[in-house]
Structure 1
Amino acid sequence: MNLYTINCGHFKLDGGAMFGVVPKSIWNRLNPADENNMCSWATRSLLIETENRLVLVDCGMGDKQNEKFFSYYYLHGDDDLDRSLAQYGFNREDITDVFLTHLHFDHCGGAIKKAGEQLVPAFKNAVYWSNEAHWEWAIHPNPREKASFLKENILPIQESGQLKFISDREEAGKGLALAPFLEQVDIRFANGHTEAMMLPQVQYKGKSIVFMADLLPSPGHIPLPYVMAYDTRPLITMTEKEAFLQEALEREYVLFFEHDPQQECCTLKQTERGIRPDQFFKLSEL
């Protein structure tokens, strides 16, 4: 097995929304805001290469939305998915599986592209993976998340016939229980950010690598009260974080961050203030 970091580009979100109840005087030291209170964030995917599969975990926001939409998010930087894949000798047609942690636009927008006036899968040879509980949540969105669940990102996946569902939580186990996906790749479910978000956990070079998605968007979100205002159930997020971080500390997991603009991975340590990041490094340094 090989793992590769795939950088899909950077965008900006309101710093207050990203850190919830934490005051700007504190969070601004973690991710400094610009004059509009916006902070830079990454859309960082993970590519898992096995003997006969090439799995892309999340795929950024893509490029099919209109100029007005992108103006809200201040896209910047030179990274994009195709250049990042090419760096390792791959292209979109090589992808066999697209694993979608959840269906918010910054995680799945790149799953669908425009071909003329049609919306078609951006990875024509891939199976797209979600789960039934989250899919139903996304296609019947609540008012709080409606702006993040865009039908043009979601419905064409099903219409293409390339969508498959992973076993639901009742079958696979709840919370921290792991559901099998591939050999050396399991899934844990989290429900604070959105319903049935999936976090892949990969056994790699003697380590457990956990793709944190939006349970921990960045190392700055490791302290328990640092919960995004986007989370639908912030108290559940705190409970999930506390249980996960204790397990990750005890079992020496490596955390892989999807949204931190600088840091890809870290380990954890116990401090007087609670569990905090220990060593930072790139995935390629493992």
Structure 2
Amino acid sequence: MVYGQKMNPKLYTIDTGTFKLDGGAMFGVVPKTIWSKTNPADENNLCTWAMRCLLIEEGNRLILVDTGMGNKQSDKFFSFYYPDRSNTLDSSLAAHGFHRDDITDVFLTHLHFDHVGGAVERIGETLTPTFKNATYWSNAQHWDWAINPNEREKASFLKENILPIQDSGQLKFIDGKDGVTFTDHVKVRFVYGHTEAQMLPQINYKGRQMLYMADLIPSIGHLPLAYVMGYDMFPMKTLNEKKAILNEALENNYILYFEHDSVNECCTLKNTDKGIRADEIFRLSEV
């Protein structure tokens, strides 16, 4: 496949299905009576979350940001998360005219299973990278954190999702300096509250700045500063990182792109008497 040579990137939403997580864990100290107004739970206190990846076409590069949870884990594993596979990584790529073999780069915001699981597939008894022609990008600080996990976080770092990438020789590291250039139109923001050295791509798109929020702000329901996930390793860091980035995004009219919001893809921000909240809400295709 030959891609366009225009310098300005093209962006495509890549839905990889939904899954469910405990609402209390997703909102930390915030009471259910409050968070359930934006993210209603089912009878088991589980809320539905997207695994919304992003495809960046820039010059001759096709960059996939995150990969969803994949399908190689056991039935027992998936029984905890109730995945809905109405959309898959392959079907979403195909809907835009692409194939997994077209991917040149896989940008992994971090290595939790719902972000990296689709990066590796199981063929028979062999674990192999899903994207055979791609370079996989992480950073040394987070990679070391993931392969030597702490007791609290290790259930999210599955070696079968991670080590085959390194074994393949397809892994490269991004310099851990905040604002480092990844492509002409993509720079990398580093945040440390959710997990060590999570990477957020910030994209110059149609004259606007768009920030892929990953697990810093998983959904519109997490915009209030105190709404910090129970999964976060360093919640006060998350709160301070959110405050700084939301103020920057408000001042500069950024577009926020949500990986886990099952309803809302993107929004801009406005000031309210309760703090910074969503203003316009829209799909990426509407930008």
> Shorter-normalised TM-score: what interval?
over 0.9
- Of 140, 150, 154, the residue aligned with 1:142 is 150
Write the letter of the residue equivalent to 1:96.
T
Q: Secondary structure at the match of 2:81?
A: coil
Unaligned runs of 5+ in 2: 1-8
Per-residue CA distance 1:165-214 (angstroms, 9 max, x = gap)? 0012xxx24xxxx1110011000000000000000000011110100000
Cα distance between partner residues in 2 of 1:11 and 1:41: 5
Residue 115 of structure 1: CA displacement? Answer: 1.1
In the alignment, structure 1 residue 250 sits paired with structure 2 residue 258: no
Report 1:222-241 matches (<5 A). Answer: 222-241=223-242
- Which amino acid letter does the alignment assign opposite residue 152 of structure 1? E
Deviations 1:18-53 (A, max 9, x none): 000000001111111000000000000000001110
* 1:154 and 2:154 aligned: no
5+ residue gaps in structure 1? none
Report the Cα offset of residue 77 of structure 1: 4.9
1:123 aligned counterpart, secondary structure: coil
Number of residues paired by the alignment?
A: 279
How far is 1:146 from its partner? 0.5
C-alpha distance in structure 1 between counterparts of 2:191 and 2:73, whole Å: 28
Q: What residue in structure 2 maps to residue 270 of structure 1? A: 271
Task: Tell me what 1:56 maps to.
Answer: 64
Give the TM-score taking structure 2 as reference length.
0.97
Name the Cα RMSD after superposition.
Answer: 0.6
Which of these residues, 22, 33, 41, is aligned with residue 41 of structure 2?
A: 33
Q: Secondary structure at the match of 1:16?
A: helix
Q: Structure 1: which amino acid aligns with 2:95?
A: Q
Alignment match, 2:26: 18
Show the 5 A alignment for 1:1-286.
1-168=9-176, 172-173=177-178, 178-286=179-287
- C-alpha distance in 2, partners of 1:264/1:21? 25
Cα distance in structure 2, aligned partners of 1:250 and 1:189: 20
User: What amino acid sits opposite 2:146 in the alignment?
Assistant: A
Is the partner of 1:136 in helix, strand or coil? helix
Q: Secondary structure at the match of 1:242?
A: helix
Runs of 4+ in 1 over 4 A off after TM superposition: none
Q: Which residue type is aligned with residue 188 of structure 1?
A: R
Q: Is the 8 A contact 2:139 2:174 kept in 1?
A: yes
Larger deviation, residues 126-135 vs 69-78: 69-78
Q: Deviations over 1:195-238 (max 9, x none)?
A: 00000000011110100000000011010000000000000000
Q: Which amino acid aligns with 2:111?
A: L
- 2: distance between equivalents of 1:104 and 1:77? 19
SS at match of 1:142: coil
Contact 2:120 2:127 in 1 (8 A): yes
* Percent of aligned pairs with the same amino acid: 65
Q: How many angstroms does 1:85 deviate by?
A: 0.3
TM-score in terms of structure 1 length? 0.97
CA distance in 2, matches of 1:82, 1:118: 20
Q: Distance in 2 between matches of 1:18 and 1:241?
A: 16
Residue identity in the other structure for 2:184: E
Distance 1:267 1:10 in 2: 24
- The SS at the match of 1:36 is coil
